[in-house]
Chain A
Amino acid sequence: MRDTTRHPTSDSAKPGAMPSIRAILTLLGILLLAAVPFIAPSMQLLINLALAKGLAVLGVTVLLRAGQVSFGHALFFGISAYVGAFLMASLPGADLILVLVAGVGGAVVSGLLVGLFVVRYRGIFFGMLNLAFSMIFWSILEKFYHVTGGADGIRLARPSVLGMAMERAGFEAVIFYLSIVLMVVLGWFTLRWFASPVGQIFQTIKTNETRLEYLGLSPRRVLLSGYVLSAALCGVGGSLMALTQGVVTPEYVWWVRSAEMVFIAVLGGAGSVRGAFIGALIYEVVRIYASAFAGDIWQLLLGSFLLVIILFAPGGIMGIADTLIGHRKKSGQRAATAEEAK
């Protein structure tokens, strides 16, 4: 597969007139999303699922910036969701914030433990070891059905919101807007992190670990910092997905889910923060409508689309969008993500 992560994406573009257009379009997109419950209420659930998935894809995107592909990040998506479900089972009426914090905490701890092992490897070994860990956890969820509910999973009861019990419609609205807020805040944070010294150092894993070592830094420790961040982001996505669906199943950590995250990240623009969410939105819409209207060939359509993206638009949807709005990377004028985050 061509290395689509090699080219700076729109997130690392030179500031100027075009990024302003991009900022305006981003703002309009966020406002449009916020208006969905009013202008297209039937799309609310779909968009909510896409945003949850987008946050998980953002986690995969972080690793792509270091040139690493994980085929097992659904592990952290699932751990976060299951932590929330177990918490609600043992503490009925627990608060939404507690569910989120506990879920993400579980993802961070597991990210740290798995990360300590997998950051010793690179490339295909890194990807496959992540896959192995996720499949081990999947097997545990499937086989220990007395605890995990097996393939049927566990129902996640509706938590309270700031101490208040909520009806379904109200709770769905809270989760929807919480998802948008988390998308904006965590998207902004990730951009700032990419631009920061620690984020820039993390991205050098892709180009020169020898120099990194000769700067007095441990490449493994540097990769681990980003790995834990990526696990946390996947955890946020997993918790939101579980809260939206009200049930968690082993399918949350199934390898197809991990592959889907990588698929969406490449589709949106490998390494692009905005691309993670735009890719997730497009993917979910296409998946739902294509499966409704094109039966079993929707995977064929998505696969073909990804093939076209990889061959002709390695910058993904964000790369195409940049071309359409006239922004192109000029030789010698590449600026760091730092510039965008100013």
Chain B
Amino acid sequence: MSATSTSGTPLLETRDLVIRFGGVTAADNVSMQIEAWRNLAIIGPNGAGKTTFLNICTGWLKPQQGKVFLEGEDISALPPRKIVRRGVARAFQIPQLFTEHTALENLLISAAAREGLRNPLQSLHRIRQRDEMMHLLDLVNCADVADRVVVELSEGQRKLIDIAVALALKPRLLLMDEPTSGVASSQKHEVMEILVGALAEAGVTSVFVEHDMGIVSRYADEVAVWNAGNVQLRGTPEEILEHPDVIRDVIGEEVA
């Protein structure tokens, strides 16, 4: 099955991406297409180039060769902020939040950035997007900590708020780097249930890097296996997680 965006072109496409750090090739002629309305999981050993791929797609790193297209538009040379404005949001392995602001304020700032609010005499707390942001906080199960300063929150809560801040931008595509890392094992599935539910409600396509194969098998529509800076395999979770190369290289002997 292959869903595409309304124009028929892939939502995001990379062609022959190459990036090297010294002697290490983190992206080695990466060409892949990301279709709309899917949750794509990226798995692979540490150092395979998964995060580098996300950094290139969002403009944080510039490829030495190759191009990135968003619905056919070349975004390879754009800085992150211009890519964000075109509908690509990012959540991080280490949550990137405004630590001296409350959870709600983080979302309100995101909404204000999205709407371009510039009235110097209007309080951030009184912008008309406040209810929408409270709903979003509720969606990620963090409404009860809305008025808590971010530094006081648990890692799991910060992860969810980081994602909510990205969702507040109303993106078409959300790229997430290990959304459940740092979250207690017992809470990982709870976090993902909330997250996938929020993504579905917002109608957002997602790409997430993940190491937990239980999470991948349950929540991904499609899986891409990364190795040595390129896509080694791609398919459904069932196809990928039973593949002998994946069992050997990624899942490891323990699971095998």
Contact = CB atoms under 8 A, between A and B. Distances in A.
A339 interface: yes
Q: Which of A213, A215, A342 has the most CB of B within 10 A?
A: A215
A207 B126 contact: no
A189 B120 contact: yes
Contacts of B110: 215
Nearest to A8: B100
B117 A198 contact: yes
Contacts of A112: none
Contacts, number: 119
B102 interface: yes
A283 interface: no
A199 B120 contact: yes
B125 to A, nearest CB: 4
A342 B126 CA distance: 9
A256 interface: no
A215 B171 CA distance: 11
B79 A200 contact: no
B126 A338 contact: yes
B102 A334 contact: yes
A200 B124 contact: yes
Given A196-B124, A214-B89, A207 B112 contact: no
A215 B124 contact: no
B98 interface: yes
Q: Which of B79, B89, B149 has the most CB of A within 10 A?
A: B149
Interface residues of B, number: 42
A336 B101 CA distance: 8
B148 A197 contact: no
B58 A214 contact: yes
Contacts of B249: none
A211 B98 contact: yes
A213 B80 contact: yes
A342 B124 CA distance: 10
B185 interface: no
B3 interface: no
Contact of A215 (B109, B121, B152): B109
Contacts of A200: 101, 105, 108-109, 112, 124
Given A192-B120, A215-B84, A332-B148, A210 B109 contact: no
A195 B98 CA distance: 15
B152 A197 contact: no
B81 A208 contact: no
B127 A197 contact: yes
Contacts of A210: 92, 96
Given A199-B120, A200-B112, A335-B102, 15 more contacts: A6-B100, A8-B100, A196-B119, A198-B112, A200-B108, A200-B109, A200-B124, A204-B98, A207-B101, A210-B96, A213-B80, A215-B113, A216-B84, A216-B113, A342-B126
